[in-house]
Amino acid sequence: MSIQSNLQEIKSAISPHVKLVAISKTHPVDIIMEAYNSGQRVFGENKVQEMVSKHEVMPKDIEWHLVGHLQSNKVKYIAPFVSLIHSVDSLKLLTVIDKEAEKVGRVIDCLLQIHIAMEETKFGLSSEELDELLSNQEFKQLKNVRIVGFMGMATFTDNVEHIRREFKFLKDLFKNIKERHFFRNDYFRELSMGMSSDYTVAIEEGSTMVRAGSSIFGVRDYSLK
Ligand SMILES: *Cc1c(COP(=O)(O)O)cnc(C)c1O
């Protein structure tokens, strides 16, 4: 299957209101350009350096999303151009993003990454940590970041009902937090959930953004790096 037909297949499976973020990590520019030439404009990377080098050489109408764990000392490299950071998991990181955004005269959209999987290894805030962050006075003073929603990664399992429960949990949390902290803010509306293996379940549970890599570009070969 070609990249173009893979994209068409996913687009026809998701509603037009759901944004498709093509996760292009590990893939070279010429392959990513095939997706671009098929009309795709939103791409996601999980490493800062890789995203910066691709941004430099690729067309400037691309929306770049950072989906991987972000280290504070690397924020400055993406602050001038990043469209959305999906993986904010601490007030410290958010404060650094705010500072770097201010330096370049921007307001950077961010998602708070919530821990929804059983696995210990996945990053993200617990509900308690989320409450703490949102009620922190320091958070309320940040002017150059905008929290537009949540991101979550479900457990890697074949058990669809298990995955569904985790996505439902995130959606419920989203509704609850929207009422308590963002009820007047229309921009708080994104739920980034669903990858190649589970995006259909994620959409059924209210996802507004799916992050698909291998179902567009094929399996990743990390040995090339
Ligand atoms: C790699 C990655 C994806 C895409 O994974 P696929 O299974 O290839 O669709 C989505 N989200 C994050 C955070 C990733 O790191």
**CATH code assigned to 3-216:** 3.20.20.10
Q: pTM of the prediction? A: 0.96
Sorted by where each begins, the domain ranges of the chain are 3-216
The residue whose CA has the least distance to atom 11 of ligand 1 is 211
90 to each of 26, 123, 141, how far by Cα in Å?
A: 26, 10, 15
Q: Is the CB of 68 under 6 A from ligand 1?
A: yes
pLDDT tens sequence across 65-106 = 999 999 999 999 999 999 999 999 999 999 999 999 999 999
pLDDT given for residue 224 in this prediction: 57
pLDDT tens sequence across 33-54 = 999 999 999 999 999 999 999 9
pLDDT given for residue 79 in this prediction: 98
Distance 137 CA to ligand 1 centre (A): 33
Residue 111 region by backbone torsions, left for phi larger than 0, else alpha for psi between -120 and 50, else beta: beta
For β-strands 145-152 and 63-66, DSSP reports them as unpaired
Is residue 225's pLDDT more than 60? no
Tell me the helices (H) and strands (E) count for the chain, helix number first.
10, 8
Q: Is the CB of 194 under 6 A from ligand 1?
A: no
pLDDT tens sequence across 116-168 = 997 776 689 999 999 999 999 999 999 999 999 999 999 999 999 999 999 99
Distance 212 CA to ligand 1 centre (A): 6
Q: Is the CB of 196 under 6 A from ligand 1?
A: yes
**CA triplet 5, 214, 70: central angle to 5 degrees?**
130
Share of the chain above pLDDT 70, in %: 98
